[in-house]
Amino acid sequence: MSEDIKVDLELDLKGLLCPLPMVRVSQNISKVPVGGVIKAIATDPGSLADIPSWAKSTGNEVIKSERIEKDLIFYIKRLK
């Protein structure tokens, strides 16, 4: 399964605590075009729930999320 996601912007959110990971994503989503993807790397376990919830309330989409050791990586697609 080859998944090559084209990333338009990468955000380092390591060490940030609630509510900052979702705040930073929301502040940066308009920097990618509609259909574009932000790769966000967080370490706050709360963001596992927060980032998908943020995407749901703002009408965007987490197309992939993965965990690499302590890093929680989200691929967030701007839908509008």
Partner 1 sequence: MEEKKKKLSMVVFSGDMDKIMAAFIIATGAAASNMDVTMFFTFWGLRAVKKPVNTGKGLFGKMLGFMYGGDIRKAGPSKFNFYGMGRWMFKKMMASKGVMDLVEFRNLAHEMGVKFYPCSMSMDVLEITANDFIDTAEPEVGVGFFISEALESQITLFI
Would you give the binding string for partner 1 spanning residues 9-48, x where CB under 8 A is met?
------xxxxxx-xx-xxx---------------------
Q: How many residues bind partner 1 (CB under 8 A)?
A: 14
Binding flag, residue 54, partner 1 (CB under 8 A): yes
Q: Shortest approach of partner 1 to residue 22 CB, angstroms?
A: 5
Give CA 17 to chain center in angstroms: 14
Decide: 55 and 26 in contact? Cβ < 8 Å.
Answer: no
Kind and range of the H or E run holding 40: strand 37-42
Which residues on neighbouring strands pair with residue 72, listed in sequence order? 42, 67
Binding site for partner 1 (CB under 8 A): 15-20, 22-23, 25-27, 54, 57-58
